[in-house]
Amino acid sequence: MQPNSIAIVGAAETTNLGVIPDTSQIQLHADAALNAMADAGLKPKDIDGIATAGETPVTVAHYLGLTPKWVDGTAVGGCSFMIHVRHAAAAIASGLCETVLITHGESGRSGVGRTRNFVAPTSLAGQFEQPYGPMGPPTLFTIPVLRYMKTYGLSHEQLAMVSVVQREWAAENPRATFKTPITVEDVLNSRMIASPFRLLQCCLVTDGGGALILVAAERARDFPQKPVYLLGTGESVETPMVSSPVIPAKAGIQGCKGLDRPPGPPLSRGRRNKHLLARVPRRRP
């Protein structure tokens, strides 16, 4: 994909965010999709490609009344939708379709019409991880952290600072659930969930969704909103088991193998975050 050759011309979240007990998972996908189509000034007949995860693209296409000629149901967890952007860009660039809708919807808090991530007892994770009592991301993604802390000398205060800074960023989003600033002390005094991780270090579980519409850059100016151009994308997968990673050094894999982006300065703008560790208060004696 050439940088700036693909544009996002529609983007929206669900009409409500946070706690939405009167809306099912599939309707959260649809609500976000309808809002994104309205944002781009499009109707269902204008969409000829669809990508989604959580639900299948067949389910979402049917629900929305679409008959796409390109579908992608890549489901690799939370970054599925970022990978959909990459796949959509490739599909548009190669002429497989022209206008791609990507949808996300999750009734994480209310659990209305939710499809469950079931770990089969015959799978490797079902045989060699589930019997030891993990229960979702806070007990799995966190397991390597103590090792990281020992290897790199990271303190609990420094780890807590991640939540403090994330809350600062959330405060700048008018739709964020929590905007009140928190301190390192607040984090370290919050309820223990999976030691060393406490409540304020765990993801907020919410209801909501989002959707994007992508087209070729040459069409972007035909749409009502200011387009956002795609500079670069990347993808990879490693393991469904936290206990059994493909060790990068041994496997010859580099962290950013799949990333293609134009030369130039880093895309990240996290200037404040650069000083994240320097801001950690000293541990009280």
Residues that bind another protein (CB under 8 A): 119-122, 124, 126-135, 139, 142-147, 150, 191-197, 241-244, 250
- Compare residues 192 and 267 and give the one whose CB is closer to another protein: 192
Quick check: 47 and 99 in contact, CB under 8 A?
yes
Tokens of residue 154, six digits: 């990271």
In angstroms, give the least distance from the CB of 247 to another protein.
9
- Compare residues 107 and 142 and give the one whose CB is closer to another protein: 142
Quick check: 70 and 44 in contact, CB under 8 A?
no
Which has the closest alpha carbon to 47: 15, 6, 88?
88
Q: Is the dihedral of CA 221, 234, 271, 13 positive or negative?
A: positive
In angstroms, give the least distance from the CB of 117 to another protein.
14
- Compare residues 226 and 283 and give the one whose CB is closer to another protein: 283
Q: What is the 3-state secondary structure (H, E, C) of 116-144?
A: CCCCCCCCHHHHHCHHHCCCCHHHHCCCC
* 228 three-state secondary structure: strand
- Compare residues 146 and 259 and give the one whose CB is closer to another protein: 146
In angstroms, give the least distance from the CB of 113 to another protein.
24
In angstroms, give the least distance from the CB of 162 to another protein.
16
